[in-house]
Structure 1
Amino acid sequence: MTRKIPETTFSPATEAERYLQNAKQILREKAGKKDGLYADVKYVKMAAGTAYSAALLILDAYLKQKEGDKFTKPKSIEDYSNRIRKYDKKLLSLLADVYDELHLAGYYHGTRSVNTIQTGLNNVSIMLTYIR
């Protein structure tokens, strides 16, 4: 007997907010903080990746709003940047910051800096206002 898992569909904004809250929960419960540094890089990387995924969900929803039926999912950060540049320079700046703070410093390099990660999370929150 197989169990069916009920499908729940969330709006892009709700889904991105859920990702962002999950990232914050990982940091709060698992990463440990002392003297402005996180103690466990494994959880910082996990949270940064989750928060960056929220940013990409936001950007996809924003581009769908702007491009309508012509929307195709971007394949690279350069593709996101080029397409966002056409519509909103502030969002483009937020994308550059989030890419540096969460994807490169947080996920890829595993920074322990609380300030860097918190700035990235705040920037994703600002990005969220673009699709609400």
Structure 2
Amino acid sequence: MMETITEARRHIDNAKGFLKNNARKQDGLFQDPKYVKIAGHTAYTGVLLALNEILPGTNKKTRKSVEWYQKELSALDKKMLSHFITSYQLLHLNMGYDGTKSVKIANVGLEEAEKIIDWVETRLTKKEMKNP
């Protein structure tokens, strides 16, 4: 289970690397939207990897909709639902599809992703402590 958290964090690190090394930041804007898109998709995949570890009914064979994730998270933790909606908007839509040039949007999206991954890790740790 914790391997998944490591993998999710690796996705976030890779996304940061694409932005830092390839997107060419200048005056608060990225100059190459191609790498912003790659970074957005990569980071969002990391979020889904982490969430799939704790949400019931997820497996690698079945793709779930964003609405499904929202429904499942709303039953577990409303605050995390809010983080997920923000990460979906910023990472998946603004970065992944639109290739936003805004460094601020990218930074907030990555912060949201890290909050979700940390939350999943905490839940998994508590679960492991209860069931050694």
State the TM-score bracket (shorter-chain normalisation). 0.7 to 0.9
Question: Aligned residue for 1:72?
Answer: 58
- Three-state SS of the structure 2 residue aligned to 1:111 is coil
Report the alpha carbon displacement of residue 11 of structure 1 after superposing the two structures with TM: 1.1
Q: Identity across aligned pairs (percent)? A: 40
Q: Report whether the alignment pairs 1:12 with 2:4.
A: yes
Q: Report whether the alignment pairs 1:45 with 2:37.
A: yes
1:69-98 CA-to-partner distances (Å, cap 9, x unmatched) read xx2346200011001110000110011000
**Cα distance in 2, alignment partners of residues 27 and 59 from structure 1:** 24
Residue number among 26, 34, 50 corresponding to 1:34 in the alignment: 26
Amino acid at match of 2:119: Y
After TM superposition, the score normalised by the length of structure 2 is 0.84
Aligned residue pairs total 118
1:22-64 CA-to-partner distances (Å, cap 9, x unmatched) read 001111110010111001000000001000101111111121x
Question: Aligned residue for 1:87?
Answer: 76
Q: Is the 8 A contact 1:31 1:38 kept in 2?
A: yes
Report the alpha carbon displacement of residue 10 of structure 1 after superposing the two structures with TM: 6.7
Runs of at least 5 residues in structure 2 that lack an aligned partner in the other structure: 122-132
Report the alpha carbon displacement of residue 104 of structure 1 after superposing the two structures with TM: 0.7
1:87-132 CA-to-partner distances (Å, cap 9, x unmatched) read 0001100110001101110011111000001100011111111122
Question: Aligned residue for 2:108?
Answer: 119
Runs of at least 5 residues in structure 1 that lack an aligned partner in the other structure: 1-8
Residue number among 89, 95, 100 corresponding to 1:100 in the alignment: 89
Higher helix fraction: Structure 1 or Structure 2?
2
**Cα distance in 2, alignment partners of residues 88 and 94 from structure 1:** 10
After TM superposition, the score normalised by the length of structure 1 is 0.84
Question: Larger Cα Rg: Structure 1 or Structure 2?
Answer: 1
The 1:125/1:57 distance shift into structure 2, 3 A limit, reads: same
Q: CA RMSD in A?
A: 1.5
